[in-house]
Amino acid sequence: MVMERVWAQAGVDYPATWPAFEAWFADEESCVEYLAKVRWPDGFRCPGCNSADSWRTKRGLWMCRDCGRQTSVTAGTIFHRSRYPLRTWFAAMWFVCSQKNGVSALGLQRVLGFGSYETAWAWLHKLRRAMVRPERELLGGEDVVVEMDATFIGGRTQGKRGPRYGNKAEVVIAVERIGARRLGRVRLRQIDKTNRKDELLSFTEDVIAPGTILRTDGEPSYPDIVGRLHLRHDLVFVYSSSEPARDLLPGVHQVASLIKRWLTGTLHDGQAETHLAYYLDEYTFRFNRRTSRSRGMLWYRLVQQAANTDPHPLDTLKSH
């Protein structure tokens, strides 16, 4: 398993600029060596017998001296069995991270010269599956305020009024408040509108740390959730207040607005509801790293997580 280092240094752990990228990865072998260091920072260990005694074959595989198992550096990662060289993958990831608002599949196809739109679409979805670490930290903590509310994303349905009708997807948002104006990290999840209370409970339990001050509107499910998870509740009566909701819960409303703007501006509202969860993962990755001054650092983190993410063949991407 790849362990993400707390710190990383430009020019040592990752290239800081595109010219540096080209110098670091002039050929495929340099990409293989780099991925091996990222994937096995303490040296290669055989996935079969855990032996550290190995040697490289002429085909570039790691051969275990104890059990004879051969292992590719890309095996078990999102790069598994790719027909394209690692350098193309690294370049695609650099392009994805260097663009502040991301890139569409059509844009990636044009930049890398893929013969089909489907290839670019599949690559972006593979990368989105690597953008969120399963063991990521919880939001909040003692005396930290986290705003939580839901928004609706999707198309419009004629003849019906209100977001609960039609093909709109409900997305719950939790965002940390830092002082009066600043926002911290965000967590997002698409939920099932037919089972809202259980979905909200599951989301809150998965992303909010005990002792957090959870600020919500008058949704009837929240008091029970807060009690069960030992949180502190800051209830805001949006519907009975003379102030607009965006002023009472400004964090979640700002995030909701930014998500919709991003989906429209970058993806042109072309996301399918069945894949919305992965677009939310990409937005979370970008939002939580929005203050990073180094695009190279974002690329480095994505490479680390890609090396620790299972393969996702095209048929499984389409079936979601």
Determine which of 31-35, 207-211, 238-242, 265-269 has the lowest per-residue pLDDT on average.
238-242
Section 207-222 average pLDDT: 90
Is 30 domain-assigned?
yes
Q: What is the pLDDT of residue 165?
A: 45
Are the beta carbons of 205 and 184 closer than 8 angstroms?
no
Domain count, the chain: 2
Residue 222 in any domain: the answer is: yes
Mean pLDDT taken over the chain = 87
Q: What local confidence, expressed as pLDDT, does residue 318 receive?
A: 77
- On the question of pLDDT at 216 being above 60, the answer is yes
| Shared-domain flag, residues 181 and 259 | yes
Same domain, 158 and 247: yes
Q: Are residues 178 and 100 in the same domain?
A: no
Chain segment 12-33, per-residue pLDDT in tens: 999 999 999 999 999 999 999 9
Q: Is the pLDDT at 124 greater than 70, yes or no? A: yes
Is residue 137, in this structure, part of any structural domain at all?
A: no
Q: Burial, 112: exposed, middle or buried (Cβ in 10 Å; 0-12, 13-18, 19+)?
A: middle
Cα→Cα distances 291→61, 182, 273, 287, 294, Å: 39, 12, 29, 8, 9
119-128, 181-190, 213-222: least confident range: 213-222
User: What's the pLDDT band for 4 if we cut at 50, 70, 90?
Assistant: very low
Mean pLDDT of 180-185: 89
Q: Are both 307 and 282 inside the same structural domain?
A: no
Cα diameter, the chain: 73
Asked if the structure places residue 99 within a domain, the reply is: yes
What are phi and psi for residue 193, nearest 5 degrees? -65, -20
pLDDT in tens, 271-317: 777 889 999 999 999 999 888 878 899 999 999 999 999 998 888 88
What pLDDT sits at residue 171?
94
**221 and 107 in one domain?**
no
**pLDDT cut 90: percent of the chain above it:** 60
2 DSSP 8-state letter? P
> Which domain range does residue 87 map to?
18-42+74-128+293-319
* pLDDT reading at 164 higher than 80: no
- β-pairing, 62-64 vs 54-56, is antiparallel
Same-domain check for residues 113 and 149: no
Q: Are residues 212 and 272 in the same domain?
A: yes
Same domain, 168 and 219: yes
CA–CA distance, 127 with 129 (Å, rounded to integer): 5
pLDDT for residue 5: 46
The answer to the question of residue 119 being in a domain is yes
- Whether 135 has a pLDDT exceeding 90, the answer reads no
Percent over 70 (pLDDT), the chain: 90
pLDDT over 90 (residue 100): no
- Strand stretches in the chain, DSSP E: 54-56, 62-64, 70-71, 145-153, 169-178, 182-191, 213-216, 232-235
Nearest to 13 by CA among 37, 42, 36: 37
Instruction: Output the six-digit token pair for 262.
Output: 């991003």
Task: Confirm whether 50 is domain-assigned.
Answer: no
φ, ψ of residue 92 in degrees (nearest 5): -60, -40
Are 253 and 157 part of one and the same domain?
Answer: yes
Do residue 299 and residue 182 come from a single domain?
A: no
pLDDT at site 166:
53
- Please report, for the domain that includes residue 213, its CATH number: 3.30.420.10
* Per-residue confidence (pLDDT) for residue 86, from 0 to 100: 96
158 and 274 fall within a common domain: yes
pLDDT on residue 265: 80
CA distance 112 to 224: 51
Q: Does residue 306 form part of some domain?
A: yes
- Per-residue pLDDT of 48-74, as tens digits, reads 899 999 999 989 999 999 999 999 999
- Say yes or no: 161 and 250 in one domain: yes
